[in-house]
Structure 1
């Protein structure tokens, strides 16, 4: 049986890299396409994974993908088409959180919101729509969008979470939370629903994956995320691998976490 082709964006670091590691430790064989903006960082990630898993059944291939660039996406498409002819699983992991840059005076409010939605929504949409023809050439296809636990509307009343705390009376308000990021990830959940609708009759199983609050470099400060209670990013890999390997197929079309379905 031919190996499944798995394309992961933003795969040289954070949750993306944990997915690479998890696939390398799987009993299944994969052709893992490790996508990232900087070729040297992608190659470093591949070398590290190969060193850690010398007996892996999977093959790792680098590819340069900057999801903010149409040219980069189109070049990556042509390269994947030429080398593999298909994609069985597309993992839209690349994303970014810029809220801290407003607090630091490095972005204006408009720049913050535009950039946040451009990366997490518009760029993810273009990446997906470009690669759908290759996805439809695959088998047992799955399309994954990495979302956030902060994106749940139902959970936004939970005052035990820092991002939901009510600020004191008066103006200006303290800079609580990550409003641009969580709003964009809430929008990403609807983007997932649109792709679930569009690809349902093609047999593609579509998910939004909420890996939990993890101490990644999201927002530029993994140590701060850890101090705020962020978990080990390593836990995300096996969970997302379980989705790739079909263990959560009954939850297709939903936002899921390791415990079940995340409330809308």
Structure 2
């Protein structure tokens, strides 16, 4: 399958990452899908599940151990991909997380600091380090794409217009301290806004090399992001994660190339 497109998806064993792998595996186009996961065993379990659900595929899925907060793990993954495939056609920066619940459990300064630092470590700094390491393999491809999975909650325009999140209640009463009834996702939202700026810089850097760069806003979907659980999010109006997987598959397969350099969702372009 040397002629397959090589697609590397971090955090590919769960959530939207898993749904993206599934959509690509079910596609009539042939892909070699590198399922990035902190645990190879969990990746193998996810692959077994996919292969039991999709009996006939033109593609293959390969587990790849990758923890984007671990520089040694990133370097080892790079060496493996470089030696076996020599290029990456699509790099999907999906690994990420929401850690605002830390502040609910511990509203002290240390809890606030931990939540914000973890959000930026995973969603921003680690994503940047990982992309820096793998960028040379994107340049070895003749048709490459770089995707950053962002959020509808990252839009400054939308938040300035009054919308924060479907899971948030109305503005609190006057006075201090403010009652804490649920996570506002402010650390997560801010980190994804930073991720959009990162995307713009990568677009500036790689546009001359022909790499098409995107921020992908998959929508409000029922995953385990932030630990709330899919069922809770469904009750709040979240859609099925497969919607995000199909959208990411379409971008990987070139259906949104005219929107490179922008934050896009399945329906169009998301305002900044």
The alignment's TM-score, normalised by the length of structure 2, stands at: 0.93
How many residues are aligned here?
264
Check if 1:248 corresponds to 2:256.
yes
1:221 shift after superposition: 2.2
Q: Is this contact kept in 2: 1:158–1:164, CA < 8 A?
A: no
Of the three residues 116, 119, 122, the one matched with 1:119 is 122
Gaps of 5+ in 2: none
Per the alignment, residue 48 of structure 2 pairs with 47
Give the direction of change, closer, same or farther, for the CA distance of 1:148–1:133 in structure 2 (3 Å limit). same
Q: Is the 8 A contact 1:164 1:177 kept in 2?
A: no
Once residues 164 and 6 of structure 2 are traced to their aligned partners in structure 1, the CA distance between those partners, rounded to angstroms, is: 41
Partner in structure 1 of residue 196 of structure 2: 189
| Whole-angstrom distance in 1 between the partners of 2:170 and 2:154 | 15
Label 1:43 to 1:53 Cα distance change in 2 as closer, same or farther (>3 A).
same
Query: Does the CA-based 8 Å contact 1:96-1:219 persist in structure 2?
Result: yes
**Structure-1 residue corresponding to 2:135:** 132
Matched, 1:237 2:245: yes
| 8 Å Cα contact 1:65-1:72 kept in structure 2 | yes
Cα distance in 1, alignment partners of residues 3 and 149 from structure 2: 26
Q: Deviations over 1:202-253 (max 9, x none)?
A: 0000000000011101011222222222111111111111111111111000
- The answer on 1:217 being equivalent to 2:221 is no
Instruction: Please report how far the alpha carbon of residue 36 of structure 1 lies from its aligned counterpart in structure 2 after TM superposition.
Output: 0.5
Give 3-state SS (helix, strand or coil) of 1:158's partner. coil
RMSD: 1.5
Query: CA 1:226/1:60 → structure 2, altered by over 3 Å: closer, same or farther?
Result: same
What does 1:77-92 align with in structure 2 at a 5 Å threshold?
A: 77-92=78-93
CA–CA separation in structure 2 for the residues paired with 1:22 and 1:172: 46
Structure 1 residue aligned with 2:265: 257
- Give the unaligned 5+ runs of structure 1: none
